[in-house]
Copies of this chain bind each other. A is one copy, B any other.
């Protein structure tokens, strides 16, 4: 990339290390930043550093937050007896956007994956089991519908069942508005197996 001067190349290189940013997007971003007003560049840079320095795990549910206890865990309006287990904070946000879930969460920060060498000890599972010592009615497992997500769901349900706490799994099936023609066979079979009586 010596067609650019070294400082531009360095910035392009930094950007292209970010996920989902290819070399062309990285160049586009770099030139955008160079053309941005100085104050805006500084603001972006400082926001990154501040977020990195101040964001940590919620002591209760392990979501990423800039407080000791995240707003959801701190809320008295949420049902603290229902815990939804998700893989990461973005999945938590996806359920929050529905506005219809009133329980709390537990963020695993990953999923069990023998392929990638991620074992039960590498995700926040021990922390989940500790939370179950308190008064909990139900654990809803909302890990992804991928191989890793399913493995993790199975593992967690086996772990929790002996405690007598209710364990459930979010439904897997045809997405709303999905056209059967374009949906993969595994999903179609899953939808069939999970059919409910009308």
Measured in the bound complex, the distance between the Cα atoms of B41 and A52 in whole Å is 7
A51 to chain B, nearest CB (A): 4
A→B interface (CB under 8 Å):
1-8, 10-11, 14, 18-21, 25, 27-34, 36, 38, 41-55, 64-67, 70-71, 88-90, 92-93, 96-97
Query: CA separation between A176 and B159, bound complex, in Å?
Result: 59
**In the A-B complex, the 4 residue pairs with the closest CB atoms:** A3-B96, A45-B45, A3-B93, A5-B65
Q: Give the chain B neighbours of A19 by CB distance below 8 A.
A: 28-29, 32
CB pair B30–A51 under 8 Å, yes or no, is yes
Looking at the assembled complex, report how far the CB atom of A11 sits from the nearest CB atom of chain B, in whole angstroms.
4
Give the shortest distance, in Å, between A42 (CB) and chain B (any CB): 6
